[in-house]
Structure formats: structure tokens, C-alpha cells
């Protein structure tokens, strides 16, 4: 039970991390110093998609699920939980590249608006 609980905590943390990667730049309008945290996280998120890395939270969640007697999953968090909601087909290299571009473009727009506002 405890391992399953922590696996779920990791999954929620993973989702919050992805939301922060995509939209955390909006927090810069509130606290500009957050850009120093957010920009490296965005770069890391883009590299995960473009290079094909697996986020360290994925294996952690899988180990916790295995310890709880549950089945883990292959691939990454995005492929397991988010892509089935967005795309019915499996994650291909082109889709991963598109996700990276989407993160990049979204954040360039957000930071562009921030600097125009300043």
C-alpha cells in the first residue's frame, strides 16, 4: 500500500513537472526570478523529447509500482499517461520532436510577452 501511494505521488509530481515545463513561464509575470529556475527546466524538458531521454521519475515510479505488486510501464510518463489522451497512436519520433517544438514555441511566446510587457 505504501509503495503504491508513493508511486501515485511520483506520477502526480511528474504531471506537475510537465505542466511547469509548459506553462511555468507564466509565473515569471508574478515573480521574475523564477525564470532562473524555469528556463533550465524547459531546456531539460525539450532535450528529453528531442534526444529520447527518459525522465528519472519514470523508473522511480515503475520501481515503486513493482514493489507494490503492480505492473510498471515501458517508455516514459508522457507516452504512458499523456499521449493516449492527446494522440491515439503510439509516440513516434516525429511526435516527440513535435512535442519538443511545442514546448519551445509556447515558452518563446510566453517570455516574448513578458519582455514586451517590461
Better-predicted residue by pLDDT, 22 or 65: 22
Alpha helices in the chain, H assignment, sequence order: 2-23, 35-51, 57-67, 77, 83-86, 93-117
Task: Say what the pLDDT of residue 104 is.
Answer: 96
Burial of 83 (0-12, 13-18, 19+ CB in 10 A): buried
Q: What is the CA radius of gyration of the chain?
A: 16
Distance between start and end Cα atoms, the chain: 50
Task: Say what the pLDDT of residue 30 is.
Answer: 95
Domain housing 47: 2-117
Mean local confidence (pLDDT), 77-81 = 65
Cell numbers placing 103: 514546448
Average pLDDT, rounded, for the chain: 84
pTM: 0.76
The per-residue pLDDT for range 7-31, each reduced to its tens digit, is 878 888 888 898 999 999 999 999 9
Measured from the Cβ of residue 12, the count of other Cβ atoms closer than 10 Å reads 10
The per-residue pLDDT for range 29-48, each reduced to its tens digit, is 999 999 999 999 999 999 98
Task: Say what the pLDDT of residue 96 is.
Answer: 82
Cα–Cα distance list, 18 to 8, 99, 114 (Å): 15, 11, 21
CA distance 6 to 104: 31
Is a pLDDT exceeding 60 seen at residue 87? no
What is the number of domains present in the chain? Answer: 1
Is a pLDDT exceeding 70 seen at residue 1? no
Task: Say what the pLDDT of residue 55 is.
Answer: 82
Amino acid at each position: 500500500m505504501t509503495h503504491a501511494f508513493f508511486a501515485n505521488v511520483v506520477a502526480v509530481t511528474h504531471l506537475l513537472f510537465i505542466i511547469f515545463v509548459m506553462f511555468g513561464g507564466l509565473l515569471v509575470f508574478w515573480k521574475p526570478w523564477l525564470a532562473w529556475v524555469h528556463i533550465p527546466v524547459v531546456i531539460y524538458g525539450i532535450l528529453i523529447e528531442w534526444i529520447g531521454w527518459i525522465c528519472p521519475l519514470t523508473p522511480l515510479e515503475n520501481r515503486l509500482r513493482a514493489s507494490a505488486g503492480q505492473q510498471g510501464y515501458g517508455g516514459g510518463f508522457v507516452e504512458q499517461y499523456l499521449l493516449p489522451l492527446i494522440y491515439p497512436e503510439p509516440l513516434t519520433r516525429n511526435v516527440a520532436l513535435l512535442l519538443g517544438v511545442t514546448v519551445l514555441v509556447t515558452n518563446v511566446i510566453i517570455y516574448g510577452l513578458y519582455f514586451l510587457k517590461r
